[in-house]
């Protein structure tokens, strides 16, 4: 069962090595307001600032093109950059892109690789701390959203979600609801019921 924990609260009487935890004397404590899955020992922060990590997938918008690089808006205090030598694709200002974090340089610019364009669709900005709930365990929530709305959905760890096709309005409504109710139990089932009740084409999730 999931439970809400506050900073300093005891999570387990055993060491749990993960982000946003503190281990003292074989006891594990939370360091941020979080949702704790006691069965799996997984901590999901409810409020946090995105800090880029190598290998993460992000969604950005090309905000400036240069001779040898592209500046990318990542919906955060960090700026992204795609070097032309690492990309076979040519981008234009305003293009939506999906990319992978390569590293962070000394100026805190996020260097990106494997960038590709996401054509059409729309993006919505949400709190980065809620991304794990939108994806779900083993992609269960994300798969449920795509099946229930027939939309293509890409999720970036930087707090951006790209939606295209299908019932994009329903997908947006569901994602915003997940953001608001991320701390509550039984959310997956409630979203499933919502999608089934509002799905105009009758698809079952």
- The rounded distance, in Å, linking the Cα atoms of 146 and 134 is 11
Q: Which domain holds residue 77?
A: 57-117
Specify if 178 maps to a domain: yes
The domain that contains 69 carries what CATH number? 2.40.50.140
* C-alpha pair distances (Å), 5 with each of 89, 163, 185: 45, 32, 13
pLDDT at 202: 44
Q: Is residue 52 part of a domain?
A: no
Q: According to the model, what pLDDT value does residue 125 have?
A: 93
In a domain? residue 50:
no
- Does the model's pTM come out above 0.95? no
Nearest to 115 by CA among 63, 161, 70: 70
Contact partners, residue 177, CB within 8 Å, separation at least 6: 191, 194
Among 102, 117, 132, the domain boundary falls at 117
203 within domain boundaries: no
- Are residues 143 and 160 part of one domain? yes
Same domain for 72 and 104, yes or no, is yes
Residue 51 located in a structural domain: no
173/193 same-domain check: yes
Judge contact between 143 and 129, C-beta under 8 A. no
Instruction: Identify which has the larger pLDDT, 195 or 47.
Output: 195
Do both 62 and 39 map to the same domain? no
Instruction: List, for residues 193-205, the tens digit of each pLDDT value.
Output: 999 988 754 455 5
What value does the mean pLDDT take over residues 10-38? 83
Q: Taking 80 as the threshold, does the pLDDT of residue 183 lie above it?
A: no
pLDDT tens string 127-176:
888 888 899 888 999 999 999 999 999 999 999 999 999 999 999 999 99
- Quote the tokens at residue 78: 């960090």
Does 40 share its domain with 61? no
The two beta strands, 27-30 and 21-24, are antiparallel
Assess whether 128 and 194 both reside in one domain: yes
Q: Cα-atom radius of gyration of the chain, to the nearest Å? A: 19
Here the CATH number for the domain that contains residue 26 is 2.40.50.100
Do 194 and 142 fall into the same domain?
A: yes
Number of structural domains (the chain) is 3
């Amino acid at each position: 069962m999931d439970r809400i924990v506050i900073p300093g609260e005891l999570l387990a009487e055993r060491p749990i090595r993960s982000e946003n935890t503190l281990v003292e004397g074989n006891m594990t404590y939370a360091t941020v307001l979080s949702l704790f899955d006691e069965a799996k020992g997984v901590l999901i922060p409810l409020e946090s600032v995105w800090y880029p990590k190598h290998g993460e997938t992000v969604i950005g918008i090309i905000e400036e093109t240069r001779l040898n690089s592209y500046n990318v808006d990542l919906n955060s205090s960090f700026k992204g950059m795609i070097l032309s030598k690492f990309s076979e694709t040519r981008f234009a200002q305003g293009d939506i892109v999906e990319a992978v974090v390569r590293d962070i340089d000394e100026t805190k610019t996020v260097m990106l690789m494997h960038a590709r364009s996401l054509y059409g669709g729309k993006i919505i900005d949400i709190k980065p701390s809620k991304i794990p709930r939108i994806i779900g365990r083993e992609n269960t929530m994300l798969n449920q959203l795509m099946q229930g709305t027939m939309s293509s959905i890409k999720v970036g760890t930087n707090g951006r979600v790209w939606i295209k096709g299908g019932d994009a309005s329903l997908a947006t409504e569901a994602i915003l609801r997940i953001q608001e109710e991320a701390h509550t139990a039984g959310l997956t089932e409630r979203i499933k019921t919502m999608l089934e009740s509002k799905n105009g084409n009758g698809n079952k999730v």
